Amino acid sequence: MNTFRRLVLAALIPAAALSLGLSGALGQTPSPAPAASASPSPAQSATPSPAASASPAPAATPSPAPSPAASASPSPAAPPAAAAATPAPVQTADPFGLETTLEAKKVVMVKGTANWDSAFDTLVDAFKALNALLDKQGIKHAGNSMIVYTSTDDTGFTFLAEIPIEQDPKNLTKDMSIGKSPEGKALKFVHRGSYDNMDNTYEAITNHLDDKKLEAKDTFIEEYLTDPLKTAEDKLVINVFVPLK
């Protein structure tokens, strides 16, 4: 069941063709012809006075013909600029199967085992233990809480609950340790909703890997973008990282 699919909104902005009316301007240019006909005065041609030759000066007056053509060209340029300024629609869906590279972070972690029936409660308890340790020593998180699945079967799974830190905590319990989060090439998927509904997301992830003929490592990483201790279960936002071989 493909619950999350990559949805891309493509915007096609047609460019409107604007006529510059150059043909109309060319149709008006024959006006200089009448100016030439004004010069042939039979009476004046016999007169030796060249002053009559000044009559071509009116022929220069048909200059109004270029002005319509000049006034037509600048104004149509503005509308295309306004159309180009229209913003393109943005992508609204979460990317599914986005290639990324994980960087190792220093983390405090606790090992755990959980049954599928009570999986989320077990993960929350692991995060509570880590947070209690950090809060008591005044150590702040340096990133989002994570779950690394180390093995799974039909009844349950083993995991590492991890919280990124910059300062090493003291007085760790026997199940706790300081280490590094996973690193390397991975695919990123996003789950929104309850932990119980993650079956649909993982089924979609499996289908995606099969379609792309990709081989994953034997582990999955969940990064909790919303705090699982304070967020309603049906409002969770979780990045699922699938390391590739």
pLDDT digits (tens, 9 = 90+) for 143-201: 999 999 999 999 999 999 999 999 999 999 999 999 999 999 999 999 999 998 999 99
Give the type of residue at 78.
A
Per mean pLDDT, which range of 2-11, 35-44, 158-167 is the poorest? 2-11
Domains of the chain with CATH codes: 34-81 (no CATH), 98-243 (3.20.80.10)
- Three-state secondary structure call for residue 191: strand
Which residues on neighbouring strands pair with residue 107, listed in sequence order?
164, 179
- pLDDT one-digit tens code per residue, 87-141: 555 555 788 999 999 999 999 999 999 999 999 999 999 999 999 999 999 999 9
Position 222 scores a pLDDT of 98
Per-residue model confidence (pLDDT) at position 218:
85
For residue 79, the SS3 value is: helix
- pLDDT tens for residues 16-32? 333 333 333 334 444 44
pLDDT, tens digit, for every residue of 190-239? Answer: 999 999 899 999 999 999 999 999 999 988 999 999 999 999 989 999 99
Q: Which residues lie across from 101 on neighbouring strands?
A: 185
pLDDT of 65 > 80? The answer is: no
58 or 217, which is more confident?
217
CA distances from 48 to 41, 58, 179, 193 (A): 13, 20, 113, 104
Paired tokens of 161: 């609950």
Amino acid identity at 1: M
What pLDDT does 36 receive? 41
DSSP code of residue 175:
T
At 160 the pLDDT is 98
Q: Write down the pTM of the prediction.
A: 0.63
The DSSP symbol for 50 reads G
Ranking 34-48, 51-65, 109-123, 137-151 by mean pLDDT, the lowest is: 34-48
